[in-house]
């Protein structure tokens, strides 16, 4: 990146004063609301409609278990921000530690989701093909889980780069700050999903 820094910087500059990649990431995240919004809307439309084949998602949620995995994801935001903070202090060792911790908490969440899906399918008998509410539930949480998976992979890549090169430069292509923004975003989406989909779940009257 030194090469790029050698450009004519009187000519080319960021008109807003914000780094391109950071602006790009926030712009992208603003569009992610529309992705998740559509999925949540599907779920809200179908979750309470009477007459579907049972079970409805709301009948089989395991709130203590999901609370636990949600909590793991929430705390991963703390470790993520600590990793970023450590990098700002040029403490490469602490950066690596917190990166790994974040990836592990993310994996705990993912493992929880795999367990939850398996339970729902094999024990409670709610498959993707059971009813539209189940379809909506799996697509929403699966799409979120896919985001978490991508995040974990990026975190592990950052960790690998850091191990290999001895340091992470903020200017490197895969930037810790950007991965952090993405990671926190995935977390706040889950904050919404946990409340709207799980805690406020409602099956149709007479079913749940």
- Closer residue to another protein, CB minimum distance, 1 or 114: 1
Contacting another protein (CB under 8 A), which of 58, 92, 115, 175? 175
Which residue stretch of 100-108, 115-123, 173-181 sits at the interface with another protein (rule: CB under 8 A)?
Answer: 173-181
d(Cα 46, Cα 86) in Å, to the nearest integer?
45
CA 85/CA 78 separation, integer angstroms:
10
Site map 75..114 versus another protein, x via CB under 8 A: x-xx-xxx--x--x-x------------------------
In the complex, minimum distance from the CB of residue 119 to another protein, in angstroms, rounded to a whole number = 19
Instruction: Please tell me the chain's helix, strand, coil percentages from 3-state DSSP, rounded to the nearest 5.
Output: 75, 0, 25
Please, which of residues 27-86 interact with another protein by CB under 8 A? 27-42, 44-46, 48-49, 51-53, 63-64, 67, 70-71, 74-75, 77-78, 80-82, 85
Please check whether residue 206 is in contact with residue 132, taking contact to mean a CB–CB distance below 8 angstroms: no
- Buried/exposed code over 120-142 (b: 16+ C-beta within 10 A; e: otherwise): beeebebeeebbebbbbbbebbe
- Applying the rule CB under 8 A, the residues between 112 and 171 that interact with another protein are 128-132, 134-136, 138-139, 143, 157, 161, 164-165, 169-171
Between 113 and 186, CB nearer to another protein: 186
Q: Decide if 142 contacts 50 (C-beta within 8 A).
A: no
- Is 13 a binding residue for another protein by CB under 8 A? The answer is yes
Contact in structure between 144 and 186 (CB atoms under 8 Å):
yes
Q: Is 208 in the site for another protein (CB under 8 A)?
A: no
């Amino acid at each position: 990146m030194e090469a790029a820094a050698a450009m004519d910087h009187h000519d080319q500059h960021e008109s807003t004063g914000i780094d391109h990649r950071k602006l790009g990431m926030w712009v992208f995240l603003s569009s992610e609301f529309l992705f998740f919004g559509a999925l949540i809307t599907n779920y809200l439309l179908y979750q309470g409609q009477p007459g579907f084949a049972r079970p409805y998602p709301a009948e089989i949620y395991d709130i203590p278990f999901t609370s636990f995995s949600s909590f793991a994801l929430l705390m991963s935001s703390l470790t993520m921000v600590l990793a970023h903070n450590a990098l700002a202090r040029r403490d490469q060792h602490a950066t690596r530690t917190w990166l790994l911790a974040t990836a592990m908490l993310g994996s705990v969440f993912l493992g929880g989701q795999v367990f939850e899906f398996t339970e729902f399918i094999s024990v409670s008998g709610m498959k993707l093909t059971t009813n539209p509410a189940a379809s909506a539930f799996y697509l929403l949480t699966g799409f979120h889980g896919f985001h978490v998976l991508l995040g974990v992979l990026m975190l592990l890549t950052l960790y690998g780069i850091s191990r290999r090169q001895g340091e992470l430069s903020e200017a490197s292509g895969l930037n810790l700050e950007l991965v952090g923004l993405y990671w926190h975003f995935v977390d706040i989406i889950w904050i919404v999903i946990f409340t709207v989909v799980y805690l406020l779940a409602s099956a149709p009257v007479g079913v749940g």
